[in-house]
C-alpha cells in the first residue's frame, strides 16, 4: 500500500513541489535531492532510525522497470566483488520505488572541492576499476553497442559541428564520422571487454571516510551498467568533462593500472583508452550543445573548452590519425572557442 506525502520545494533543486510516494513501512523526513539528466528522483530521509535514500521513477514503464531491476542486480554483483554499494532496504518493482542505505553526503567531487587529497581520491577510484578489470561480468547485461552512449556518438555531427562551423547539419556527415571510427577500431586488436559502469565520475563516487583502500570509494548510479570496452570508465574518470586532472596524476594512475599487463596487453589497452576517450569527448561536445539548444541547460557550456582541448591533444596520437585527417578535411579547429551564449545557440538551432 502506498500513500502520498507532499514535500516542500528543496531550494537546492530545480524542480517544483512534488507529491512523492512514502512506503507504508515508514519513510519520513523526506528531502528532495537535486536532479541530474536522468528521469529518476531521489530523496534523503529516514526509515525508523536509519538514514535512507528513496529512489523513485515518476513514470511506471517497462523500460524504467528494466533499469531499476538492473540497479538491484548490478548492486548485488558489485557487492560480490567487494565493492561498496548502497544496501537495499526495500523495493517495490510495481511502483518503481527503492529504499537504499544512505552512503552520506560527500561525493568524491565534494570531497575534492573541500580540500581532500586529490591523489588519494583518484587512486581509490582507479583501484575499484582495477578490480572490475579482472572480474567476470554478469552474463545478461546489455552490450555497449546496444546502449545510447554508442548510438549517440553522432551528436558530435548533429550538434557540435553545425555550432562550430555555423553551417546547417548534413546527415551524410554522420555516416562519414562513423566510418572513420569503424576504420580505426578495425585496425586494432579486439578491445578488452568487461563490466562498464558507463558514468564513472566524481559525483557517482561516494566517500566512505571510515573505510580503507578501494572500500573508501562507494559506487552509485550504476543501473546503466553494461558489458563493454574496459578502458571506458577509466578514461571518463581521468578525462572528466567537468574537471581537469593533472597530467602527472593521470600518467601515474595509468602506469599503475597497467602494471600487471604484458607489453601487448598494455599497448592495446592504451590504444583503446585513447579511442574510447576521444569518442566520448566528441559525443559529449554534441550532448552539451544539444542540452543548451533544446533544454536551455546552459550550465554545461562552460565545459566545452575543456572537451575541445581533450580532443585537440588526442589528435596527435598515432592511432587517431584517420580522425585527425577527417577533422582537417572538415576544417574543424578545436583551438577556437565559439560564442558559448545559450541564447545564440538556441537561435541557431531553431
Chain-wide mean pLDDT for the chain? 90
Q: Please give the pLDDT value at position 36.
A: 65
Confidence tier at 224 by pLDDT (50, 70, 90): confident
* pLDDT at residue 75 is higher than 60: yes
Residue 162 C-alpha cell reads as: 553545425
Q: Can you tell me whether residue 297 is helix, strand or coil? A: coil
Which of 101, 118, 137 lies at the terminal end of a domain, its last residue?
101
Q: Are residues 66 and 133 in the same domain?
A: no
Name the pTM for this structure.
Answer: 0.88
Q: Distance between CA 259 and CA 267 in Å, rounded?
A: 12
To which H or E segment does residue 201 belong?
A: none
For the segment 168-183, the average pLDDT, to the nearest whole number, is: 95
Chain position carrying cell 524504467: 64
* Res 34: pLDDT: 79
Same domain, 76 and 135: no
Is residue 226 within 8 A of residue 235, CB to CB? The reply is: no
Residue finishing a domain among 101, 136, 151? 101
Give the Cα separation of 43 and 30 in Å (integer): 6
Q: Which range of residues forms the domain containing residue 96?
A: 2-101
Is residue 198 helix, strand or coil?
A: coil
Q: Is the pLDDT of residue 17 over 60?
A: no
Same domain, 223 and 318: yes
Question: How many of the other CB atoms lie within 10 Å of CB of 59?
Answer: 8
> What pLDDT, on the 0 to 100 scale, is given for residue 37?
62
pLDDT of 5 > 80? The answer is no
pLDDT tens, 20-46?
Answer: 445 444 788 888 887 666 678 889 999
Cell of 268: 592495446
Out of 48, 73, 101, a domain closes at 101
Indicate whether 21 and 161 sit together in one domain.
no
Axis-axis angle for helices 231-238, 247-257 (nearest 10):
160
Neighbours of 104 (CB within 10 A): 13
Q: What is the SS3 assignment for 321?
A: helix
Q: Is the pLDDT of residue 284 over 70?
A: yes
**In the block, which residue shows the cell 531521489?**
42
**Residues with Cβ < 8 Å from 323, sequence gap 6 or more?**
180, 181, 184, 278, 315
State mean pLDDT over 308-336.
Answer: 97
N- to C-terminal Cα distance for the chain?
Answer: 46
Q: Please say if the pLDDT value at position 164 is more than 50.
A: yes
Spatial distance between the Cα atoms of 182 and 338, rounded to a whole number of angstroms: 29
Q: Which residues pair with 205 in a beta bridge?
A: 219
* Residue 170 phi, psi (nearest 5): -115, 110
- Counted domains in the chain: 2
Task: Please state the separation of Cα 194 from the chain's center in Å.
Answer: 16
Calpha distance 193→6 (Å, rounded): 45
Nearest one of 54, 48, 35, 40 to 102, comparing CA atoms: 54
User: What pLDDT does residue 238 have?
Assistant: 98
Asked if 117 and 77 sit in the same domain, the reply is no
Reduced to 3 states (helix: H, G, I; strand: E, B; else coil), residue 228 is strand
H-helix or E-strand containing 217? strand 217-219
Confidence at residue 41, expressed as pLDDT on a 0 to 100 scale: 86
Q: Which three cell numbers stand for residue 168?
A: 546547417
More confident residue, 233 or 223: 233
| Lowest mean pLDDT segment, chosen from 179-183, 222-226, 290-294 | 222-226
Q: How many residues does the chain have?
A: 350
Same domain membership, residue 46 and residue 83: yes
The CATH code of the domain that includes 60 is 3.30.200.20
**CATH number of 144's domain:** 3.90.1200.10
> Looking at 139-148, 192-201, 248-257, 286-295, which range is the least confident one?
139-148
For position 57, what pLDDT does the model report?
A: 86
97 with 124, same domain: the answer is no
Amino acid at each position: 500500500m502506498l500513500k502520498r506525502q507532499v514535500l516542500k520545494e528543496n531550494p537546492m533543486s530545480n524542480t517544483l513541489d512534488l507529491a512523492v510516494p512514502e512506503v507504508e513501512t515508514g519513510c519520513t523526513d523526506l528531502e528532495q535531492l537535486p536532479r541530474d539528466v536522468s528521469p529518476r528522483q531521489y530523496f534523503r530521509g529516514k526509515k525508523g532510525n536509519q538514514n535512507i535514500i528513496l529512489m523513485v521513477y515518476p513514470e511506471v514503464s517497462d523500460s524504467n522497470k528494466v533499469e531499476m531491476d538492473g540497479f538491484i542486480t548490478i548492486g548485488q554483483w558489485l557487492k560480490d566483488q567487494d565493492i561498496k554499494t548502497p544496501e537495499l532496504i526495500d523495493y517495490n518493482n510495481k511502483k518503481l520505488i527503492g529504499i537504499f542505505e544512505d552512503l552520506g553526503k560527500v561525493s568524491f567531487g565534494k570531497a575534492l572541492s573541500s580540500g581532500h587529497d586529490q591523489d588519494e581520491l583518484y587512486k581509490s577510484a582507479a583501484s575499484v576499476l582495477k578490480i572490475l578489470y579482472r572480474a567476470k561480468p554478469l552474463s545478461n547485461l546489455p552490450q555497449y553497442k546496444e546502449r545510447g552512449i554508442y548510438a549517440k556518438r553522432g551528436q558530435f555531427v548533429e550538434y557540435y559541428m553545425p555550432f562550430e562551423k555555423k553551417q546547417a547539419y548534413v546527415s551524410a556527415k554522420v555516416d562519414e564520422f562513423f566510418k572513420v571510427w569503424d576504420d580505426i577500431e578495425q585496425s586494432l586488436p579486439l578491445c578488452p571487454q568487461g563490466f562498464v559502469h558507463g558514468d564513472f565520475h566524481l559525483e557517482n563516487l561516494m566517500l566512505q571516510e571510515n573505510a580503507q583502500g578501494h572500500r573508501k570509494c562507494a559506487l552509485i548510479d550504476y543501473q546503466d551498467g553494461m558489458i563493454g570496452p574496459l578502458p571506458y570508465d577509466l578514461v571518463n574518470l581521468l578525462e572528466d568533462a567537468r574537471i581537469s586532472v593533472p597530467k602527472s596524476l593521470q600518467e601515474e594512475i595509468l602506469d599503475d593500472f597497467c602494471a600487471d599487463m604484458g607489453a601487448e596487453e598494455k599497448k592495446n589497452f592504451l590504444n583503446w583508452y585513447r579511442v574510447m576517450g576521444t569518442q566520448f569527448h566528441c559525443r559529449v561536445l554534441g550532448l552539451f550543445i544539444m542540452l543548451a539548444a533544446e533544454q536551455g541547460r546552459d550550465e554545461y557550456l562552460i565545459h566545452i573548452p575543456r572537451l575541445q582541448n581533450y580532443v585537440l591533444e588526442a589528435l596527435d596520437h598515432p592511432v587517431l590519425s584517420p580522425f585527425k585527417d577527417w577533422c582537417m578535411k572538415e576544417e574543424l579547429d578545436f583551438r577556437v572557442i565559439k560564442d558559448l551564449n545559450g541564447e545564440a545557440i538556441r537561435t541557431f538551432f531553431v
